[in-house]
Amino acid sequence: MFLAGMAAIGYKEAFPDAVTNQIVVFAVGTFTFQIVTLVLIHIFLRQHQTTWSEAFGFREPRLARAIFLGVLVSILIFPVALSLNDFASRIIKSTGVTPQLQQSVQVVREASSVVQLIVQALAAVVFAPIVEELIFRGILYPAVKRTYSQKTALWGVSILFALTHMNFMVILPLTVLAIILTFLYETTRNLLAPIVAHSLFNAANFAYLIYQRYQQGSL
């Protein structure tokens, strides 16, 4: 009880109430969803009597090649995604509508503490790529491919991936990203490759947003 009380006092002294509430709400909401999703995937795999390695190709040979291709793809796709994002923004503006930023981008731009940025970085660079790749490339893509066709799975799951981010401005770049990640998975047969590419892609976006804040003098 004493330790819990001291921790609570230290926590409140470290962060203002408004900032604390915002961090807690975001962290709990984000990480709870990610953890619950991982648990559900584990249950799903057990019901199908398979392991993580068997289901997602983690035991595939040439691990170094898979990681290398993941890194290479992330380097190549980042400038393409930025260009597509800018193109989508111009199209939206031409219709008289003001483009809305993704919530995650807004959080980084408006973060008032280092802790907020760290929480967002963990969510974007570590947790989101793992969970999203497991769901979209690891489970949905193979399931749709078996039921319908590879083409249907490629386009259907890629568009769904983009739509789940709930932002018109990123539908085009994220659809392209998803298609490339799917080809990467098909090439390596190891889900680790698109996870690495996705993670580094998000890391590059996060670093770019931090750089913008630094240039604007807001960091």
pTM for this model (two decimals)? 0.87
Answer whether 70's CB lies under 8 Å from 192's CB.
yes
User: Helix (H, G, I), strand (E, B), or coil: what is residue 124?
Assistant: helix
- pLDDT (0 to 100) of residue 12: 43
d(CA 124, CA 11): 24
d(CA 50, CA 168): 37
Per-residue pLDDT of the chain (219 residues; tens, 9 = 90+): 333 333 333 444 444 455 566 667 777 777 888 899 999 999 999 999 999 999 999 999 999 999 999 999 999 999 999 999 999 999 999 999 888 888 888 878 888 788 888 888 999 999 999 999 999 999 999 999 999 999 999 999 999 999 999 898 999 999 999 999 999 999 999 999 999 999 999 999 999 999 998 888 877
Q: Where are the alpha helices (DSSP H) in 58-170?
A: 63-94, 103-110, 114-121, 128-133, 141-147, 150-163
CA distances 22 to 33, 104, 219, Å, are 17, 13, 18
d(CA 97, CA 86): 15
Sign of the alpha-carbon torsion through 114, 117, 122, 123: positive
- pLDDT (0 to 100) of residue 183: 97
Sign of the alpha-carbon torsion through 116, 119, 123, 125: positive
CA proximity to 202, closest of 77, 109, 87, 116 = 77
